[in-house]
Chain A
Amino acid sequence: MKKINVLKPVLVSNQQRARENRKVFDKMNSLVINIIGSPGAGKTSFIKNIVTNLKTKYKILVIEGDIKGQIDSKTISRLGVDVIQINTVTECHLDAFMTAQALGRIKKKYDLVLVENVGNLVCPAEFEIGEDYKLAILSTPEGDDKPLKYPLLFHLARVIVINKCDLLPYVDFGVGDAIRNIRKENPGATIFEVAAKTGAGFDKVCKHLEKEIHARKKKNTR
């Protein structure tokens, strides 16, 4: 019997692929956001608000990852922006390979690419797809302890959105507690409080995104 030292990460191929996707996005000058949250947290509703607010100023692409079906992509394309649907079939997350397939179908340049990952707080966090950063959505009915129960996502996400704030009077959710729990995992996170149903709070989110879109462009025109 012999022993061979390997010392290679198991997900090396996904990480390599994610870096290649990154290069493609860099060429397009796109800000790419990987949106992660539970089923029903409001990922699609969040994207709808962003698209409605920013579509006249920026070219936006939405990539919809879903286990099956096209409901979300139909909803988004009705708003008049380009949508690419990826059906993950058996997988509970998008990975860099599935994203690469979608990239092959892109014909234009976009300022902003919003990726709706599969509804799940665990698996999507592990797989990079070539994004600039991860954005986590936590909705108030889910409870303010979720950041402690799913620490990896809240640790990795650069932006965290607390959605369904219109329901605060009816649910057992302390915004202060939620923010404290998020800060324990991720002291530097940017946190927004919104209600995708009413549009409340999106002025701040959009201002932040606009700043990032411009910063992204500067970075690439070196």
Chain B
Amino acid sequence: MHEFSVTRSLVELCEQEASRNNMKTVRRINLKVGKFTGFSPDSINFYFEHLKADTRCHSACLVFEEIPIKIACRDCHGQHVIEEPTLLCPKCGSDKIELVSGREFFVASIEGE
């Protein structure tokens, strides 16, 4: 699955950030993953274990924090967190909504020495 190339980008990004900040060993990578993405933490972890060898991340672990799917409704003017990405306002049923969050996938921070 595409988690292979995603994990490769992840390792590259952390490697760059660590080297720019003189961090020799990364111990922990804090990730934020929107619920409305197709990324599976399990397979990212699986590939990470292989790809981290010989990098500054070789002894790092991944910590995932999920970002909920949030929509803004133009009819009732509320913001709502929804469980399933069915893009209807859970309060008034309107379809005039905008996605506020849920599509992100980013590295929040790295920790190490």
B21 CB to nearest A CB, Å: 5
Chain A residue contacts of B23, Cβ below 8 A: 2, 4
Query: B43-85 CB contact bits vs A (8 Å, 1 = yes)?
Result: 0000000000000000000000000000000000000000011
B3 CB to nearest A CB, Å: 9
Contact partner, B112, options A1, A7, A95, Cβ 8 Å:
A1
A154 CB to nearest B CB, Å: 10
Contact partner, B105, options A11, A123, A187, Cβ 8 Å:
A11
Contact present for B87 and A2 (CB under 8 Å): no
Name the residue on B nearest A98 (C-beta).
Answer: B5
Contact present for B111 and A2 (CB under 8 Å): yes
Contact present for A187 and B95 (CB under 8 Å): yes
Q: How far is the CA of A91 from the CA of B88 in the complex (A)?
A: 33
Contact present for A95 and B86 (CB under 8 Å): no
Contact present for B36 and A9 (CB under 8 Å): no
Which residues in window 1-52 of B have CB below 8 A to A? 1-2, 4-6, 9-10, 12-14, 17-18, 21, 23, 27, 31, 36-39
Contact present for B9 and A14 (CB under 8 Å): yes
Contact present for A4 and B17 (CB under 8 Å): yes
Name the residue on B nearest A6 (C-beta).
Answer: B107
A3 within 8 A of B: yes
Contact present for B2 and A127 (CB under 8 Å): yes
Contact present for B109 and A5 (CB under 8 Å): yes
Known contacts A3-B111, A8-B106, A152-B38, A126 near B2 by CB under 8 Å: yes
With an 8 Å Cβ cutoff, the count of chain B residues facing the other chain is 38
With an 8 Å Cβ cutoff, the count of chain A residues facing the other chain is 33
Contact present for A126 and B37 (CB under 8 Å): yes
Name the residue on B nearest A150 (C-beta).
Answer: B38
Contact present for A151 and B36 (CB under 8 Å): yes
A70 within 8 A of B: no
Q: How far is the CA of A91 from the CA of B47 in the complex (A)?
A: 14
A12 within 8 A of B: yes
Query: A153-193 CB contact bits vs B (8 Å, 1 = yes)?
Result: 00100000000000000000000000000011111000000
A108 CB to nearest B CB, Å: 30
Contact partner, B106, options A4, A9, A185, Cβ 8 Å:
A9
Name the residue on B nearest A95 (C-beta).
Answer: B5
Closest 4 CB pairs of A and B: A123-B2, A151-B85, A6-B107, A187-B95
Q: What residues of chain B have their CB less than 8 Å away from a CB belonging to chain A?
A: 1-2, 4-6, 9-10, 12-14, 17-18, 21, 23, 27, 31, 36-39, 84-88, 95-96, 99, 104-113
Apart from A4-B17, A12-B13, what are 6 other A-B pairs with CB-CB below 8 Å?
A9-B106, A10-B9, A123-B1, A126-B37, A151-B86, A183-B95
